[in-house]
């Protein structure tokens, strides 16, 4: 029954710490704790990017039996002290977020991954984690919540423990949440808290009946929570850097699903792309069948399918063989760094290169077949252009919906432009704006977007990309890119949202006098429609006038005379 540790370093700089045993059972003895501490101390001396904990069978804490050589009267057993030291070593790893964890952002989410039959055998492990919350030199016991103590004493099966446990630095607290999932958010004051949700498996959530794993994950994403944790066959602990909008912290998640697919359960803050196998995607999309196809574009076809109980959109990329694997993964990291409610959420990717030999002429030659797929959240409302194309004056969106779409798109674009390393979309158009079930828009398709660094106000490229209709004149003539490129595209979109698919053409192809006559006609049409349906139309009529003025300013031929997107957001708000 000997338990021992093995450590290996992956190519990406992440260390894998494995608990192994001679008989497949893992007993967390004081000897095993000592080995764990030694392994962690070795990892501390290196520049580790992260740490994965796993076992030869089962989850990291699965099957742990609390074995202590000390007397029961001792205030804190050697096993508890050992657990506390192990957790401290985990927190003290020389990673970018370690200071944040020990500093102001003191919330740390721990899931007690004590799966399988009974919780009572893990009492000392629980107490060790509680003791680890005290960061003073000498660990001391922290009282557990009464209901946890009662459950431990009564040896209640773990499956019946439907609670959320939060571990805060210096104070161990437990909360019994009998209501629905939203009551969790009421208990958490703000987004700076790192939340850990215990999940017994990928189908059963331990907080609240009737909410599956995918719903909890989506709810957390919507409410800007930082981490979601699961207990499956592997327990992963990866410190990460949060964006400016969320606190830094530690995510405890599952790296592998029961089916063996690579998976990262924290969509909201991870900067590491999720690698999904081609076989899994083919299974989700019925082998990329036509019945699963939901769209296509210049860069590939889009299919929908259900993966890990969540409906996703799989974009199969064509013609990217010129990118090597490192370049492709670098672009994926850029995608994962974009986290905003008005940007389509990037979930993961598949990149598979196969070498085949084919007969060509008189000999066999080696040919590389490259399959690359980008995976995003699926939005059932479809793309905005489909709604604009089929509408007439008698149907289509009302003004309130149109105004909200314009405003939300501006907010998403402003987020991209205001990043520390700004991103220019360069292909903003109705086809690249997707709508959810409530007609809330999200910006999609960053296939040709560029990070813009340094102090330059514009750059010049050698090869044109994008959709000509939405390109500004300085790009069409001289291939100049600046933040005003997207502003021009936004102006074209606003004109189309207000006046229909031909709105921009009618405006741009007319002379100055006729173009303003056209705008006045559009304004009066909306004034008539709004007045007929509203008892107090003045506010919406003013919004129409404001949006028309914004569109005209965005379509200025001189890029310096176009407004910044930040100013547009302020005007719309």
Q: Where are the domains of the chain?
A: 3-253, 278-377, 384-572
pLDDT at 361 (0 to 100): 76
- Is the per-residue pLDDT at 217 higher than 80? no
Cross-strand bridge partners of residue 480: 460
Query: Where does 361-482 show beta strands of DSSP type E?
Result: 363-377, 382-383, 423-424, 433-435, 441-443, 450-451, 458-460, 480-482
Which pLDDT value is given to residue 365?
Answer: 77
- Give the C-alpha separation, 160 to 151, whole Å: 9
Give the tens place of pLDDT for each residue, 430-473.
999 999 888 999 998 865 556 544 444 444 444 556 688 899 99
CA distances 238 to 255, 268, 269, Å, are: 10, 14, 12
Q: Per-residue confidence at 529, pLDDT binned at 50, 70, 90?
A: very high
The pTM is what? 0.52
Task: Tell whether residue 155 is among the known ligand binding residues.
Answer: no
Q: Is residue 357 over pLDDT 70?
A: yes
Per-residue confidence at 195, pLDDT binned at 50, 70, 90? very low
Q: Which residue has the higher pLDDT, 170 or 493?
A: 493
Distance (Å, whole) CA 205 – CA 194: 18
**Span 318-330, mean pLDDT?**
58
pLDDT at 169 over 70: no
pLDDT, mean of residues 376-404: 82
The residue annotated as part of the active site, out of 73, 92, 209, 427, is 427
What is the CATH number assigned to the segment(s) 278-377? 3.30.200.20
Q: What share of the chain is helix, strand, coil (3-state, %, to 5)?
A: 35, 20, 40
Can you spell out the DSSP letters for 195-249?
Answer: ----BSSSS-BSSSTT--HHHHHHHHHHTT-------SS-EEEEEE---TTS--E
Fold of 384-572: Transferase(Phosphotransferase); domain 1 (1.10.510)
| Number of neighbours of residue 207 by Cβ within 10 angstroms | 20
pLDDT digits (tens, 9 = 90+) for 551-571: 999 999 999 999 999 999 999
Is the separation of the CB atoms in 449 and 425 below 8 Å?
yes
Taking each helix axis from N to C end, the angle separating 483-499 and 565-572, rounded to the nearest 10 degrees, works out to 40
pLDDT at 548: 95
Give 302 or 156, the one with higher predicted confidence: 302
278-377 with 384-572: one CATH topology?
Answer: no
Q: What percent of the chain has pLDDT over 90?
A: 20
Q: What percent of the chain has pLDDT over 70?
A: 47
Does residue 414 register a pLDDT over 90? yes
Q: Which is it for strands 171-175 and 164-168: parallel, antiparallel or unpaired?
A: antiparallel
Dig out the tokens for 401 from the structure: 């919906």
Please say if the pLDDT value at position 206 is more than 90. Answer: no
User: 196 with 111: CB under 8 angstroms?
Assistant: yes
Could you report the per-residue pLDDT of 106-162, keeping only the tens digit for each?
A: 222 222 222 222 222 233 333 444 343 333 333 333 344 443 444 344 443 333 332
Between 269 and 27, the higher pLDDT residue: 27
Q: Quick one: CA dihedral 441, 445, 451, 455, positive or negative?
A: negative
Average pLDDT of the chain is: 63
pLDDT of residue 425: 87
Contact 415, 244 (CB under 8 A): no
The yes-or-no answer on residue 275 being catalytic is no
494 confidence band (pLDDT: 50, 70, 90) = very high
Region of poorest pLDDT, from 27-31, 89-93, 107-111, 353-357: 107-111
Rounded mean pLDDT, 397-409:
93
Average pLDDT over residues 166-181: 27
Q: Which residue has the higher pLDDT, 48 or 482?
A: 482
pLDDT of residue 409: 96
């Amino acid at each position: 029954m000997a338990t021992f540790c093995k450590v290996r370093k992956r190519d990406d700089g992440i260390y894998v710490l494995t608990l192994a045993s001679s008989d497949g059972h893992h007993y967390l003895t004081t000897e095993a704790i000592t080995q764990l501490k030694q392994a962690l101390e070795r990892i501390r001396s290196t520049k580790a990017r992260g740490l994965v904990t796993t076992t030869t069978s089962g989850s990291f804490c699965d099957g742990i039996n609390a074995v202590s050589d000390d007397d029961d009267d001792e205030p804190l057993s050697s096993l508890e002290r050992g657990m506390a030291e192990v957790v401290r070593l985990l927190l003290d790893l020389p990673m970018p977020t370690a200071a944040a964890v020990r500093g102001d952002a003191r919330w740390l989410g721990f899931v007690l991954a004590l799966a399988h039959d009974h919780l009572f055998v893990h009492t000392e492990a629980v107490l060790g984690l509680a003791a680890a919350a005290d960061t003073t030199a000498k660990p001391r016991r922290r009282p557990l919540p009464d209901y946890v103590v009662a459950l431990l004493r009564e040896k209640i099966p773990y499956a019946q423990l439907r609670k959320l446990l939060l571990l805060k630095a210096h104070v161990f607290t437990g909360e019994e949440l009998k209501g629905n999932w939203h009551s969790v958010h009421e208990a958490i004051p703000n987004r700076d808290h790192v939340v850990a949700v215990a999940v017994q498996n990928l189908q059963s959530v331990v907080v609240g009946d009737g909410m599956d794993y995918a719903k909890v994950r989506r709810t957390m994403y919507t409410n800007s929570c930082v981490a979601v944790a699961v207990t499956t066959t592997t327990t992963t602990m990866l410190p990460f850097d949060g964006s400016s909008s969320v606190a830094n912290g530690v995510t405890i998640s599952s790296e592998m699903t029961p089916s063996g697919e690579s998976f990262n359960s924290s969509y909201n803050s991870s900067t590491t792309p999720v690698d999904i196998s081609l076989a899994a995607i083919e299974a989700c999309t019925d082998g990329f069948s036509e019945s699963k196809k939901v769209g296509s574009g210049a860069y590939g076809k889009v299919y929908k399918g259900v993966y890990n109980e969540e409906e996703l959109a799989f974009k199969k990329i064509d013609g990217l063989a010129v990118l090597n694997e490192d370049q492709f993964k670098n672009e994926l990291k850029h995608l994962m760094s974009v986290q905003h409610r008005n940007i389509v959420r990037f979930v993961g990717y598949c990149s598979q290169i196969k070498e085949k030999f084919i007969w060509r002429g008189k000999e066999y030659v080696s040919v590389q077949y490259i399959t690359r797929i980008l995976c995003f959240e699926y939005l059932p409302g479809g793309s905005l252009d489909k709604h604009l194309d089929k509408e007439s004056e008698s149907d289509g969106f009302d003004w309130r919906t149109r105004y909200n779409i314009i405003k939300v798109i501006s907010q998403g674009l402003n987020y991209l432009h205001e990043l520390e390393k700004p991103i220019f979309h360069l292909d903003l158009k109705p086809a690249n704006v997707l709508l959810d079930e409530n007609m809330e828009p999200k910006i999609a398709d960053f296939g040709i977007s560029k990070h813009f660094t340094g102090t330059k106000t514009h750059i010049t490229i050698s090869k044109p990309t994008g959709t000509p209709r939405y390109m500004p004149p300085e790009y069409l003539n001289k291939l100049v890119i600046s933040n005003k490129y997207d502003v021009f595209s936004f102006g074209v979109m606003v004109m189309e949202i207000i006046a229909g698919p031909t709105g921009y053409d009618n405006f741009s192809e007319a002379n100055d006098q006729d173009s303003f006559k056209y705008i006045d006609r559009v304004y009066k049409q909306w004034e008539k429609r709004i007045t007929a349906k509203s008892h107090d139309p003045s506010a919406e009529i003013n919004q129409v006038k404001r949006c028309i003025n914004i569109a005209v300013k965005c379509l200025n031929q001189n890029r310096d005379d176009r407004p910044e997107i930040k100013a547009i957001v302020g005007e719309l708000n």
